[in-house]
Amino acid sequence: EDLRIAVIGAGRMGSDHIERIHHRMERARIAAIVDIDETRARAAVEGIDGARVYTDFTEAIASGEVDAVLISTPGFLHEDVLLPTITQGLPILCEKPLTPDSASAWRVVQAESAIGRKLIQVGFMRRFDAGYQRIQQAVASGEHGELLALDCEHINPGVPAGYTGSNLIDDTVVHEFDGVRFLTGEEIASVQVRTGKNSCHVTTEGLQDPAQILMDTGSGVRVSVNTHVTAQYGYAVTTRASFEKIHLNEGVDQVYPGFEERFVDAYDTEVQDWIDGCLRGEVAGPDAWDGYAGAACCEAGLRAVAEPGTTVAVELEQKPELYR
Ligand code: ISE
């Protein structure tokens, strides 16, 4: 039996996932598309036999016709969908960020811990990118000595409608917060932000572009992230990992129109892995704790943006048993 998936939110990312599941994924099909904008949901369902349209996600998850839920609404709406879906006991792939702030992410972690099994995978797709995995494996094996530093670039051609100044941290840099946690296997201890000249292409109130975000991990790996999200020319994500004996460069000289193209293979692997996990009854990959830790880093990052130059410590609750 194919996994019957409900996609909640048929915007840019939701449409991309619908297309992916319908055309490229195995052992799964789209059973429901939910969007408060019915016209958008109807447009997304076109050509997909047997899929139903809903404007209220609670009806979709209670329909008995859905085995798993993919959440691709904007981040600030995730909690409202996550909590009832956890109660319903359905496995979830939740697009990043889990939620934008750590208090709401902590509520999600507690709700999942309370039922005592993992239902949520967070859509940190970079963990499935081949270049990221090469660096992660080199860190884990120790073959090139210790990892000393990570220097990252995160370039977007422009920002989507509705992007806010704080989205630079909680929508864009959240990928590096999770990426650094994944690559190093450590929590991030502190965050600092440097800003300078602002681009003439910035029309978003409160957006600093370009910016530089600095972090330290628990063991002292030094991290820098150069962001430029109104860079006009394309989408680029690079990582340089400085080991004691070698430097590994990933993503260099690769410019794409957008993240869908840059990370197409990572997304495909991520979603197929999630589908296969759902069918086996075990959700793996980045979990709700990773989502919560990312949100806690974002909170430190936002405080660091407000006070450029200051070093802000990341504060985490104690990790619940389920995630150890
Ligand atoms: C967007 O939501 C993403 O997830 C992209 O990967 C990131 O580059 C972009 O800045 C975000 O807005």
What pLDDT, in 10s, does the model give residues 140-177? 999 999 999 999 999 999 999 999 999 999 999 999 99
Q: Identify the pLDDT of residue 121.
A: 98
Q: Whole-angstrom Cα distance, residue 225 to residue 150? A: 8
Q: Identify the pLDDT of residue 208.
A: 96
Total-model pTM? 0.97
Of 51, 49, 50, 26, nearest to 41 (Cα)? 51
Q: Rounded to the nearest whole angstrom, what is the distance from the C-alpha of residue 171 to the centroid of ligand 1?
A: 6
Q: Which two tokens stand for residue 182?
A: 């994944």
| SS3 sequence of the chain | CCEEEEEECCCHHHHHHHHHHHHCCCCEEEEEEECCCHHHHHHHHCCCCCCEEECCHHHHHHCCCCCEEEECCCHHHHHHHHHHHHHHCCCEEEECCCCCCHHHHHHHHHHHHHHCCCCEEEECHHHHCHHHHHHHHHHHHCECECEEEEEEEEECCCCCCCCCCCHHHHHHHHHHHHHHHHHHCCCEEEEEEEECCCCCCCCCCCCCCCEEEEEEECCCCEEEEEEECCCCCCEEEEEEEEECCCEEEECCCCCECCHHHHCHHHHHHHHHHHHHHHHHCCCCCCCHHHHHHHHHHHHHHHHHHHCCCCCEECCCCCCCHHHC
Q: Identify the pLDDT of residue 94.
A: 99
Ligand 1 closest atom vs CA 259 = 6
Q: Whole-angstrom Cα distance, residue 189 to residue 215? A: 7
Q: Whole-angstrom Cα distance, residue 162 to residue 257? A: 20
Q: Whole-angstrom Cα distance, residue 119 to residue 295? A: 19
Q: Identify the pLDDT of residue 250.
A: 98
Q: Rounded to the nearest whole angstrom, what is the distance from the C-alpha of residue 172 to the centroid of ligand 1?
A: 5
Q: Which protein residue has the closest C-alpha to ligand 1 atom 6? A: 259
Ranges of residues in the chain whose predicted pLDDT is under 70: none
Q: Which protein residue has the closest C-alpha to ligand 1 atom 11? A: 172
pLDDT tens digits, 193-239: 999 999 999 999 999 999 999 999 999 999 999 999 999 999 999 99
Sheet hosting strand 211-217, strand order edge to edge: 247-250, 236-243, 147-155, 222-228, 211-217, 188-195, 312-313
Domain 3-125+266-285 falls under CATH 1.20.1250.20 = no
Q: Where are the domains of the chain?
A: 3-125+266-285, 127-261+292-323
175: Cβ below 6 Å to ligand 1?
yes
Ligand 1 closest atom vs CA 167 = 12
Cis peptide, bond prior to residue 84, ω within 30 of zero: no
> Please, are residues 173 and 97 in contact by the beta-carbon 8 Å criterion?
no
124: Cβ below 6 Å to ligand 1?
no
259: Cβ below 6 Å to ligand 1?
yes
> Please, are residues 167 and 100 in contact by the beta-carbon 8 Å criterion?
no
Q: Which two tokens stand for residue 154?
A: 């995160």
> Which of 15, 71, 155, 156 best tests ligand 1's pocket when mutated (most atoms within 8 Å of CB)?
156
Q: Whole-angstrom Cα distance, residue 118 to residue 109? A: 10
- Residue with the two structure tokens 């932000």: 193
Using CB atoms within 10 Å of the CB of residue 279, give its burial: 0 to 12 exposed, 13 to 18 middle, 19+ buried: middle
pLDDT tens digits, 19-28: 999 999 999 9
> Other C-beta atoms within 10 Å of 109: how many?
24
- Bridge partners of 70? 7, 93
Q: Whole-angstrom Cα distance, residue 109 to residue 292? A: 7
Q: Identify the pLDDT of residue 221.
A: 98
CATH topology of domain 127-261+292-323: Dihydrodipicolinate Reductase; domain 2 (3.30.360)
Q: Identify the pLDDT of residue 260.
A: 97
